[in-house]
Every structure is written in structure tokens, then in C-alpha cells.
Structure 1
Amino acid sequence: MREHFVWVTTRRIRPGALEEFERAWRPDPYPEGLRHAYAYWSEDGQEITGVSFWDSKEACDSWRSSEAENRRREIMSPYVLEEREGFYQGRELGVPVR
């Protein structure tokens, strides 16, 4: 089974700030080594979980310590009330076909 390198970030944002937050959240430039990225919102639009898949832990760490990521976090900061993040390594679980 193929191993995945995943960075997960969950943010609670100010009420009513989802649209502004989404504009600030887009990375520029697109990170080197990023394979896939997903965003999931709570029903009230105040909690967002981002899940990104990377080539390696080093690729993710390089982006996380980059000037571009620092700028992106500064732009997002007016909308973020709380943030949790973690880096994980794992595999896809086989789900039986029904």
C-alpha cells in the first residue's frame, strides 16, 4: 500500500467571514510537492478543516517554513479565532465493495 504524508489544519473563523477567509486561504504560489488538497466546512461555516497530501514530510515542512506561507497566514489572521494543526503519515484503508 502506498504511504501518504498529510497535513491537517482546523480553523475556527469569525462568524460571517467565510467568503473573505476563502480568498485569503488560497496559496500563491502553489506549493511545490503538494499533491492534493481538500477543504471541509462545518454547517455554520465557522470551522474549516484543510487536508493536504504531500510528496514527503520535507516538502510539507519546506512550504510551512516558507515566506509565501508566512504571508498567507498573515493575510488569514484577521479571520482566524483558533487554529489546530498536525502532520500525519498513513495509508488508505481498504473498504469492501458492497
Structure 2
Amino acid sequence: MATWSVLTGRKLKPGAYDDWRRAWQPEEWPEGVRGYILRKIGDPDEVIAFGLWEGTREGLEAMRPDPAVESARQSRMAPFVEGQFADGAYEVVDTIGG
């Protein structure tokens, strides 16, 4: 079993965080996923959203949303986003600290 993260970094339009946050929220969270949103210190319009999940790669792929559902979610967010600088699924390969 491994730990996985799906991560996206975005530059939001000024003052659009609350609207983007409502649009970002999926209709249903996959079981076992814990989501986080980070805002950059000094630039609150730069955000990184990610989720952590433990399981197999096959399980990760199986829990991904239906493409039509994800496309609709992306369309809801689009009016509030200036750009995207990171997007992907990642495997946690090291855990540092206690």
C-alpha cells in the first residue's frame, strides 16, 4: 500500500477565492481522501489544492471522477482562475520527521 496525492496549483483572479472554493468542492469526496488547500503567504490568490489517500495505484485510478463530472467541475472553476502552474497525481516516496 502507498500514499498518493492529487495536486493542483492555481493563480486565482484577485479576490476570487471564496467563489473558486465553492466551485472547487467536488459533489462527493472519495472515501478515505483528506483534502487540503494552501494559500501563499504574501499572495492569497495563489493556491495549492491537494488530497492524500492511501491505497494502490489501481485504487487511485478507480476513484478518479467520471471525466464528464470532472469537466463540469473544471468549467465551474474556470471563471475564477488566471492560470494553473501544477497538476497531477503523485506517489509519496519519502516521509520526513516524526
Q: Same fold (TM over 0.5)?
A: yes
Q: Into which bin does the TM-score normalised by the smaller protein fall?
A: 0.7 to 0.9
Deviations 1:35-78 (A, max 9, x none): 21111011332111011123444454452553221111100001
2:89 aligns to what? 87
2:76 aligns to what? 75
- Once residues 25 and 48 of structure 2 are traced to their aligned partners in structure 1, the CA distance between those partners, rounded to angstroms, is 14
Please report the TM-score for the alignment, with normalisation by the length of structure 1: 0.77
Counting only pairs closer than 5 Å after superposition, residues 1-98 of structure 1 correspond to structure 2 as 3-30=2-29, 32-33=30-31, 35-43=33-41, 44-54=43-53, 55-62=55-62, 63-83=64-84, 84-91=86-93, 93-96=95-98
Please report the TM-score for the alignment, with normalisation by the length of structure 2: 0.77
Identity %: 22
Report the more deviating stretch, 74-83 or 62-71. Answer: 62-71
- Once residues 59 and 70 of structure 1 are traced to their aligned partners in structure 2, the CA distance between those partners, rounded to angstroms, is 21
Unpaired runs of 5+ residues, structure 1, are none
Unpaired runs of 5+ residues, structure 2, are none
Give the length in aligned residue pairs.
94
